[in-house]
Amino acid sequence: MRGNQLVLLSGTANPSLASEISGSLGIPLCDAAVDRFSDGEVRVRIRETVRGADVFVLQPTCPPVNDTLMELLIMIDAARRASARRIIAVVPYYGYSRQDRKHTGRVPISARLVANLIETAGADRVLTMDLHAGQIQGFFNIPVDNLRADWIFADHARATFRDLSDSIVVSPDAGGAVRARQVAERLDLPLAILEKRRTSDGSDVDVMNVIGEVTGRRCLLVDDILSSAGTLIKGARTLLDHGAKEIFAYCTHGVFSGDAIYALAESPLKRVVVTNTIFVEAAEKGHVAEYTSVGDHLAKTIQCIYEYRSVSELFPHY
Ligand code: R5P
In this structure, the answer to whether residues 133 and 195 fall within a common structural domain is no
Closest-CA residue to 279 (of 20, 35, 26)? 20
The alpha helices in the chain, defined as continuous H runs, are 15-25, 65-81, 110-121, 150-160, 177-187, 230-241, 260-265, 282-285, 295-306, 311-314
pLDDT of 200: 66
**Is 31 in the same domain as 132?**
yes
Round to whole Å and give the CA distance between 303 and 318. 17
Q: Which ligand 1 atom sits nearest the alpha carbon of residue 234?
A: 14
Q: What is the pLDDT of residue 247?
A: 98
> Domain check: are 205 and 264 in the same one?
yes
For ligand 1, which residues put their CB under 6 angstroms from it? 98, 172-173, 175-176, 205, 223-231
CATH number at residue 228: 3.40.50.2020
Residue 293: CB atoms within 10 Å? 16
Domain count, the chain: 2
Q: Domain range spanning residue 257? A: 150-292
Residues 266 and 304 both lie in one domain: no
Q: Ligand 1 centroid to 161 CA: how many Å? A: 26
User: Tens digit of pLDDT for each residue in 154-184?
Assistant: 999 999 998 999 999 999 999 999 999 999 9
Give the rounded percent of residues in the chain with a pLDDT score beyond 70: 93
CA 225 to ligand 1 centroid distance, Å: 5
pLDDT, mean of residues 80-95: 98
**Protein residue whose Cα sits closest to atom 2 of ligand 1:** 175
Q: Are 141 and 35 members of one domain?
A: yes
At position 1, the amino acid (one-letter code) is M
Residue with the smallest CA separation from ligand 1 atom 8 is 225
51 CA distance to ligand 1 middle (Å) = 41
Sort residue 293 into left (φ over 0), alpha (ψ -120 to 50) or beta. beta
Query: Does residue 1 belong to any structural domain of this protein?
Result: no
pLDDT at 3: 74
- Cα–Cα distance between 249 and 169 in angstroms, integer? 9
> Does 277 lie in the same domain as 162?
yes
In this structure, the residue with its CA closest to atom 3 of ligand 1 is 225
Looking at the fold, whether 46 and 23 belong to one and the same domain comes out as: yes
Q: How far apart are the C-alpha atoms of 222 and 313, rounded to whole Å?
A: 26
Residue 88 sits in the same domain as residue 189: no
Structure-derived torsion over alpha carbons of residues 118, 119, 123, 124, reported in degrees to the nearest 10: 150
- Domain co-membership, 138 together with 164: no
CA of 110 to the centre of ligand 1 (A): 17
User: Are the C-beta atoms of 117 and 77 separated by less than 8 Å?
Assistant: no
Active-site annotation, residues: 196
- pLDDT interval class at 61 (50, 70, 90): very high
pLDDT band at 313 (very low <50, low <70, confident <90, very high): confident
Residue range 237-258: average pLDDT? 96
- Are 85 and 189 found together in one domain? no
Rg (CA), the chain: 20
Residues 32-41 have a mean pLDDT of 98
- Same domain, yes or no, for 106 and 143? yes
Do 142 and 155 lie in one domain? The reply is no
Q: Which pTM value belongs to this model? A: 0.95
